[in-house]
Structure 1
Amino acid sequence: MSDSSDDEYEVKAKKQKLSQKASDEECEGLEPVEVEEVQTDEDKMKEFATITATDEIMAQTILQDVGWDLKRALDVFFGSDAFKEARAEVVMGPTSSSESSGTQKMTAEDLKGLEINVMSWNIDGLDGRSLATRMKAVAQIVKSVNPDILFLQEVVDRDLGPIDKLQSLYKIYYSNRGCQYYTAILVSKMFEVEKHDVIHFQNSGMYRTLQIVEGSIGGIKVFLLNTHLESTREHRGQRCAQFSFCMDKCEEILAQNPGCFLFFGGDLNLRDEEVSRIPNGILDAWVSAGSDTKTKFTWDTYKNDNKQGFYNAKMRFDRLYWHGPLNKVQFSLEGRQRIRSCLCFPSDHWAISATFSAI
């Protein structure tokens, strides 16, 4: 080979190497594009069975009815009356039903002048940073708001003193104290408690429960249901099953106690698209109060920087549902003042507070 040919070959090789390097540099830093896998019908059956903790026979039955659309099939399972018993078995196994109560139905006119305030708050006891100071702030805010009924989530044994001291104002019922974390229902002294139950979700890997207090205020039957549903997006299946079970339980209570008040809420960890069928007569307190966008987001990392690494997230995780002859609802967020001594908020969640009244 001649010298000129050698030179031409070397130039071409260098150009090819430079071109490849430029291409590599252009690609560097780009996120890989995820190629969505096409699921076979068998894959969908397996995923449905895994999410719902049922079997592939039920999966096939529902998927066939909705044209093998997995999302629609899950919505049908979690939202349809036809699968009420199956959902219950998934979450907590067979249960026995209680006898119907003879509570007399009352109207808003009968209850004119009555006000009931219900507050719910995930107090983030799992975050050990400034915990003692934060729990003191939580207790102080509770005293300031002075709710008749208080639902707490993520309560822990450590630095529980300020919460325990609220016994001077409230009767306190813990779900599974001694566990890593748990829930609590606090009711004012005027509330006559008849029964306290805790249902452990068998499909939970996070110690989650449904806590139920049954009692009365001024002779009116009242049911309180407090829960903390499964967290994070990847546990959507368990969370949707738990929420559906809770709504089924509310519907069962109302059917057996037609004149009662019912308040159900907590840290539900729900995304809007995960909200399944809501039984007739059960209302969302935030919606009943007018759906004010200023009070919508209860986990808002734009405004609450307690949790580092979660940026630009706005979620309505904390919700309160209700039933009763009251006809006015006022809704607010609490706990939004930063604690001066540690420059953090009492919790990474805002507390939700709803006042129900008859006018």
Structure 2
Amino acid sequence: MSSSDNDEPKVVEISDDEMECEGVVEVNNEQSDEAKMREFAEITATDEIMAQSILQDVGWDLKRALDVFFGSDAFKETRNEAVMGPSSSAGFELSLMSWNIDGLDGRSLATRMKAVATIVKKVNPDILFLQEVVDRDLEPIDKLQSLYKIYYSNKGCQYYTAILVSKMFEVEKHDVVHFQNSGMYRTLQIVEGSIGGMKVFLVNTHLESMRDHRAQRMAQFSFCMDRCAEIIANNPGCFLFFGGDLNLRDEEISSIPDGVLDAWVSAGCDTKTKWTWDTYKNDNKQGFNGAKMRFDRIYWHGPFNQVHFSLEGRQRIRSCLCFPSDHWAINATFSAV
């Protein structure tokens, strides 16, 4: 199947100075953002966590960030309405990224995990769902604690999931439900909390793999949807995000509660962002040539009226000539305008 050059995965060149993080994308931009964080913290006598939370709200414009901190009324009013307004979600924006990082494949794992961490820092989502996390070479993910609060499902198991949330997210509860019908250590991970006074539920999972396990996977998906419906019913007006590596085929989907929507569909069903496991373009896995599936999905519930959807992690790592994972990451930005 042919595609335009613009859709092809890119090979990323890395300078010697960038080899420490094994090279992926726009390192200079990332360093610039870090420099702004350090400068903001120095000027305001705060820390880089405060710097990051304000800078990202104003598009990493240092002058505007300083205006916000030092009390510019115009910027205070804008930020309060956009992020903290308790009476309306108008102006509220939230981004969520989900990625199966393929920790079970030991090939170039340390390099790939450094690439994953670098891409996460570049994309800078508010919330991150990870699947197939492993203890080995976990350090680059653990180091994201400088930017996120990290919650692992069943760390120490052969592999597991993780939910990472911005420091602005107030976490109230973290639960892990083990699927009773799983032979693959699969779980449902739930974080309950709030952002700017708005109740938010984050539900991350990795459903049973392979076509032969269709019955278990469908039962797991139905269980997840039932749990989402229960959360929504018991928490009127809440935001809910459910997703992960669902391993679903379209014909396996059923029982989606009213008001729960597919982010890719909400964003317009762009065929360029449909396939999250695409062996036409990603050759990390040999023996699966010619297969492409929409395994990775995000479902959502809340008063948003605009969704933007993209694929991340499509840059080949020069030093090992592979991609960070055999899955593309999915990234959805939800806005109430």
Superposition TM-score, scaled by structure 1 size? 0.70
Distance 2:309 2:127 in 1: 14
Deviation at 1:277, TM superposition (A): 2.0
Return the match for 2:162 from 163, 178, 184.
Answer: 184
Contact 2:200/2:239 (<8 A) preserved: yes
Deviations 1:187-210 (A, max 9, x none): 000000000000000100000000
Runs of 4+ in 1 over 4 A off after TM superposition: none
SS state of the match for residue 111, structure 1?
A: coil
In 2, are the aligned partners of 1:108 and 1:326 still within 8 Å (CA)? no
Mapped contact 1:108–1:327 kept (Cα < 8 A): no
**Which string of whole-angstrom CA distances, capped at 9 and with x for unpartnered residues, describes residues 289-326 of structure 1?**
00000000000000000000001101000000000001
The reply to whether residue 298 of structure 1 matches residue 276 of structure 2 is yes
Out of 269, 283, 287, the position equivalent to 1:309 is 287
User: What does the per-residue CA deviation read over 1:186-235, in whole Å, with 9 as the maximum and x for residues that have no partner?
Assistant: 00000000000000001000000000000000010000000000000000
How far the C-alpha of 1:109 sits from its partner, in A, is: 9.2
C-alpha offsets along residues 131-162 of structure 1, whole Å, 9 cap, x if unaligned?
Answer: 00000000000000000000000000000000
Gaps of 5+ in 1: 1-106
Query: Where does 1:5-84 land on structure 2 (aligned, <5 Å)?
Result: none
Q: Secondary structure at 1:204's aligned position in 2?
A: coil
Q: Which residue of 1 aligns with 2:248?
A: 270
**Identity score, percent:** 85
Q: Structure 2: which amino acid aligns with 1:180?
A: Q
How many aligned positions are there? 254
- Give the deviation of 1:283 after TM superposition: 0.2
Equivalent in the alignment of 1:340: 318
Helix, strand or coil for the counterpart of 1:338?
strand
1:220 aligned onto 2:198? yes
- 1:246 paired to 2:216: no
Contact 2:86–2:198, Cα closer than 8 Å, also in 1: no
Conservation of the 8 A alpha-carbon contact between 2:86 and 2:196: no
Is contact 2:149-2:166 (8 Å) kept? Answer: yes
Give the distance between the partners of 1:214 and 1:248, measured in 2 at CA: 17
The Cα of 1:108 is off from its aligned counterpart by 12
1:319-348: CA deviations, max 9, x gaps? 000000011000000000100000000000
2:212 aligned with 1:234, yes or no? Answer: yes
1:115 lines up with 2:86 in the alignment: no
Query: Contact (CA 8 Å) 1:339, 1:345: kept in 2 or not?
Result: yes
Indicate whether 1:131 and 2:109 are aligned.
yes
Unaligned runs of 5+ in 2: 1-84
Q: CA deviation at 1:112?
A: 2.1
Give the structure with higher Rg (CA).
1
Q: Which residue of 2 aligns with 1:5?
A: none
Please give the alpha-carbon distance, in whole angstroms, between the structure 1 residues aligned to 2:137 and 2:312: 21
Question: Residue 316 of structure 2: SS of its match in structure 1?
Answer: coil
Distance, in Å, in 1 between the alignment partners of 2:259 and 2:89 is: 18
Residue 140 of structure 2 is matched in structure 1 by 162
How far residue 113 of structure 1 moved from its aligned partner, in angstroms, is 1.9
Alignment correspondent of 2:48: none
**Residue 174 of structure 1: which of 152, 170, 176 is its match?**
152
Quote the residue 2:14 is aligned against: none
| Residue 35 (structure 2) aligns with | none
Asked if structure 2 preserves the Cα contact closer than 8 Å seen for 1:299 and 1:350, the reply is yes
CA distance in 2, matches of 1:134, 1:128: 10
CA root-mean-square deviation: 1.4
Distance 1:335 1:208 in 2: 24
Distance 1:274 1:202 in 2: 19
Match of residue 150, structure 1, among 124, 128, 132: 128
